[in-house]
Structure 1
Amino acid sequence: MARAAAIPSGHAYLSVSTFRFGSVEIAATVTRDAAVADAWVRGLRASHPRGAPLVVGLDCKWNKQRPRPAAAAAGRGPGPAWTAAPGRAAVLQLCAGGGAGCLVLQLLYLGRVPEVLRAFLRDPRVRFVGVGVVGAAARLAADHGLACAAPVELAGPCDGYLGLAGGGGRLLGLKEYAKEVLDLNMEKPDAVAMSDWEKRDLERGQVGYAVVDAYVSYRLGERVLLGR
């Protein structure tokens, strides 16, 4: 799992950290402030060579189950403390190269979605990549009205890169592609995957999990789409 070293930001709605994943340090901007998200996108745009292909890892997190009312959760009512009903997309992760690192945006606490971010997601020249990214893009559209113009599912290109047809009879996910395409070892503990992504202050382990998912998506896209 990535290890985080917090960097004091002095901003009430911003945490800037670096996460070590293997031999790489990934800069992560964690925020629920529209102005910070705006600045991150503008910074990426400014640093990217004009006309060069832009690949961005995209993912989002939501609660796979939802807490029941407090009385039931405390054992004073019938049924389990959690229900199987999924929540809204709570966290958007974007990752790119050129020093941009990862943006971890807490959508449920965002007062407004900056137009710069909306335009960025709608830009057909930007390839937003991931394993299961089409589903993630659909959640963003349904839950927050965020349209993603060019989501690129990486399962097919990764299978092609590996010389597999339809996964070669195996069910491959982000973790497996990370190992077989990039020789990177990912840890994806269920306890973090099923944790509460709607909480106002995400835990360090949650942020590391989110950052690595987006980073690996970006790296896979660069490799299988651009040969880098």
Structure 2
Amino acid sequence: MAISIEDHQLPYNTHNLYDVNFFDDKIRTLVTHTPSFVNTWVAETQQKIHHNNHPADHPLLVGLDIEWRPNRMRQIENPAATLQLSTDKDCLIFQLLHCPTGIPQPLRDFLSNKNYTFVGVGIEGDVEKLVGDYDVSIGNAVDLRVLAAEKLGAVQWKNSGIKALVKEILGKQIEKPKRVTLSRWDNEWLTGDQVQYACLDAFLCYKIGESLYAA
């Protein structure tokens, strides 16, 4: 299958690991609500980013996305439930809502570090929600739609979604099933479909950003 997921089924209530397969890429995905695992992921990711040989003019990219329980009532705005970050073939799905101690400082420092460029589709809305829900600031955020319009020379991309960008820039097809998009992202245990969906959103943002900056 072009897109699939393998559950490592770890016997812990702190975290789990998955391999999300997207065509030729296997994305190692950590799902956790536990600060110590988040801190380790951040430290290892920073090491990997800096050890990779990037051209001097190429930004250090991190794909970013969030998910939350759909708002069913007009007066109630549900907080962000998960934060997804991806660099190359590593992904973190951090269950913000279930973290017992709030967002750990190493992650706050990572997100606010202007040496990294966080890329996403409509990322301004995600940044605004993270600030409002968790008082988290993102140091340097770039909307892939704006970047695509600039690099591809067509203003139409400013209104595009991730499916269209994946097809145009990566030459691949993805589905965004409503049953997953509108699912209970605030559940303590995410389903395999949710993990695959959340991982790919962040990973594909990274891949689109990588391709556009290399153009």
TM-score normalised over the length of structure 2: 0.90
1:116-155 equivalent positions in 2, closer than 5 A: 116-155=106-145
2:184 is the counterpart of 1:183: no
> Could you say which residue in structure 2 is the equivalent of 1:159?
149
Gaps of 5+ in 1: 67-82
Q: Give 2:68's aligned residue.
A: 62
One-letter amino acid of the structure 2 residue matched with residue 40 of structure 1: W
Q: State the Cα distance separating 1:10 from its structure 2 match.
A: 4.0
Q: Which residue of 2 aligns with 1:222?
A: 210
User: Contact conserved, 1:62 with 1:86, CA < 8 A, in 2?
Assistant: no
RMSD value, Cα: 1.8
> Aligned equivalents of 1:204 and 1:179: distance in 2?
24
The equivalent residue for 1:69 is none
Provide the rounded CA distance (Å) in 1 between the counterparts of 2:157 and 2:9.
Answer: 44
Give yes or no for the alignment of 1:91 onto 2:97: no
Verify: 1:110 aligned to 2:111, yes or no. Answer: no
Match of 2:193 among 205, 209, 212: 205
**For residues 218 and 27 of structure 1, what CA distance do their matches in structure 2 show?**
14
TM-score (norm 1): 0.85
Residue of structure 2 equivalent to 1:72: none
Q: Report the Cα distance in structure 2 between the residues aligned to 1:167 and 1:4, rounded to whole angstroms.
A: 30
Check the 8 A contact 2:7/2:192 in 1, yes or no: no
Q: Residues 25-44 of structure 1: matches in 2 within 5 Å?
A: 25-44=26-45
Q: 1:2 to 1:200 in 2, by over 3 A?
A: farther
Aligned partner of 1:75 in structure 2 is none
Question: What letter corresponds to residue 48 of structure 2 in structure 1?
Answer: S
- Kept in 1, the 8 Å contact 2:84–2:92? The answer is yes
What's 2:182 paired with? 194
SS in 2 for 1:197: coil
- Contact 1:122-1:150 at 8 Å conserved across structures: yes
Structure 1, 171-180 or 158-167: larger mean CA deviation: 158-167
Moved more, 152-161 or 126-135: 152-161
